[in-house]
Amino acid sequence: MTEQPTEQESASEAPLPQAAEPPQAEAAAPDEASGFAHLTMAPSPKRTWKEFFLIPAILFVVGYAVLSGLAWDRVGKPSSDPHFTYLANAFLDGQLNLARKAPHGNDWASYEWMKLRSGQEIKGVWRDRNTRRFETLDGQIMVVDRAEVDPRAREKRVFVSFPPAPAVLIMPLAAIWGYNVDDVSFTIFFGALNFALMFIVLRRFSDGGRTGRTRSDNLWLTVLFGAGTVHLWCAVLGQVWFSALVIGATFTLLYILASIDARHPLLAGICLAIAFSTRTPLLFSAIFFMAFIFFPKGQWRREGWPEALKKLALFCLPCLLVGLTLLYYNYVRFESFTEFGHSYLAGGQIGRIRKFGLFNIHFLSKNLSAALTLLPRIQPYEPFVVVSRHGMSLLLTTPVWIYLFRPMARRTQDDRFWWGLLWATVAVVAIPGLFYQNTGYEQFGYRFSLDYTPYMVLLLAVGRRPLSRWFKALVIFGIAVNTFGAITFKRFDQFYMPGSTFFDPD
């Protein structure tokens, strides 16, 4: 999606009076005394085609080169966990379970299908093979004697439990290369695209007068997102878990662009639908668009309801269509509208899921530790630094996040609206993951944070605090930390210890 520059911004987009600006300037310089940029901004500058696309194009090319360089030996071949490629090939073969045997047993959902001599077909998992207790997909427990099973009508059906949008995107490549799709380069493409999209989003915010950030500021924040957060090392792996996060970020950025002031409701709905078909928690980010419908300028809408409801309908249409399709997709596979297959990972034998379910307060303390307090071990002998496979604190991988708690005062209603909306979006996307059965293991940093990292970068932008030398130093530190992760994670095991060294993953 491309952003169209305009000569004039509507009153709803530029809440404060406008004044002249020097030619070719994106925003007025920050007020050194207050830390605020002068919000009396000129209309959005009218850029030439070259000016409009050149910087994003350069960011894409540089991002692709950097990510490819960090991926180096992985590029040109399938990753070790090509779940989306296998699912794409299954779709091309007209089926939902795998058409070929899985390459390994890690994170595939499966159950057994059997036909009894009586003619009854059953699907489910063994709960106790010694006593022959079998749990069907609808939760019934039955005792199945070996003599009752027709040995010619019995198979293990294996599925990909992850939402299927990335597999749909890979299908054209799978149609050409089959199971040999280079999913590493596929992920790198989206990672590089995220560099360009983040800059476009930040520029869009600046043009609207909502951040007062200069082009230089926006470049710093773009580099922060692309290389100074978990995005960097996630984008160079190609494995199913990390590809989903990177692609989810791509469609989140597109969704944000389309959502601002509810300008493009249908496109916003399409992008959000693809986003939550990639990463389920992104469904909750719908509140970002909804706020513009119900609370324009941060206040309850008092007029313009017919147009607002039309936009709401356009936004909801693709979300409902895709959402209902996903529910049906679940039901056909697992006879439950809400079961994506995670309950059937490892054949339904994961102890913590059987005991506590997928979401439970039991998991909160470990997830909070992985997100905020888990630190690497420093030791006086090689390799000197040892990282938990549960990752490390976000405040170490991206220490500049501390500036989220040091914004300038909110001086206008529009400022308060944006600050609250962005924090609310971060919260609704982040909180469910804190109760999830998995910390993100294995990971270098807290990878689930990538779902809401774009909104956190925007919070830094609207925080209006000048990007000081200390801020930039912390950005560079974050780049160094995540570059270390991009180089060593899944390559140099001496830098990583099993999760049980820090706490039991179960």
**Tens digit of pLDDT for each residue in 33-47?**
333 333 333 345 666
Residues 10-28 have pLDDT tens digits of 333 334 333 333 333 333 3
Res 44: pLDDT? 55
Q: Are 326 and 163 in contact (CB under 8 A)?
A: yes
Rounded to an integer, what is the distance from CA 439 to the centroid of its chain? 15
Measured from the Cβ of residue 388, the count of other Cβ atoms closer than 10 Å reads 25
Res 437: pLDDT? 94
10 Å CB burial of residue 420 (0-12, 13-18, 19+) is middle
| Type of residue numbered 178 | G
Question: 472-498 burial, b for 16+ CB within 10 Å, e for fewer?
Answer: eebbebbbebbbbbbebbbeeeebbbe
Tokens at residue 264, please?
A: 């493009």
Res 172: pLDDT? 98
Res 297: pLDDT? 78
C-alpha 451/C-alpha 430 separation (Å) is 8
Res 1: pLDDT? 42
Res 37: pLDDT? 35
436: helix, coil or strand? strand
Q: What is the mean pLDDT of residues 487-502?
A: 82
Tokens at residue 272, please?
A: 């959000």
* For residue 270, pLDDT beyond 90: yes
Residue with the larger pLDDT of the pair 265 and 146: 265
Residues 82-119 have pLDDT tens digits of 999 999 999 999 999 999 999 999 999 999 999 998 88
Tokens at residue 128, please?
A: 């106790």
Mean pLDDT of the chain: 89
Question: 440-458 burial, b for 16+ CB within 10 Å, e for fewer?
Answer: bbbbbbbbbbbbbbbbbbb
Res 349: pLDDT? 84
Res 499: pLDDT? 52
Question: 147-168 burial, b for 16+ CB within 10 Å, e for fewer?
Answer: eebeeeeeeebbbbbbbbbbbe
Res 16: pLDDT? 38
Res 299: pLDDT? 87
Q: Are 211 and 205 in contact (CB under 8 A)?
A: yes
C-alpha 74/C-alpha 390 separation (Å) is 23
Categorize the per-residue pLDDT at 348 as very low, low, confident or very high, splitting at 50, 70 and 90.
confident
Q: Which residues pair with 113 in a beta bridge?
A: 123, 155
Helices and strands counted in the chain (H then E): 16, 8
C-alpha 268/C-alpha 319 separation (Å) is 9
How much of the chain, in percent, has pLDDT values that exceed 70? 89
Q: Are 327 and 283 in contact (CB under 8 A)?
A: no
Domains of the chain with bracketed CATH: 49-78+175-501 (no CATH), 111-159 (2.30.30)
Res 360: pLDDT? 95
> Any idea what DSSP says for residue 387?
E
pTM: 0.89
* For residue 30, pLDDT beyond 50: no
Residue with token string 């990583």: 496
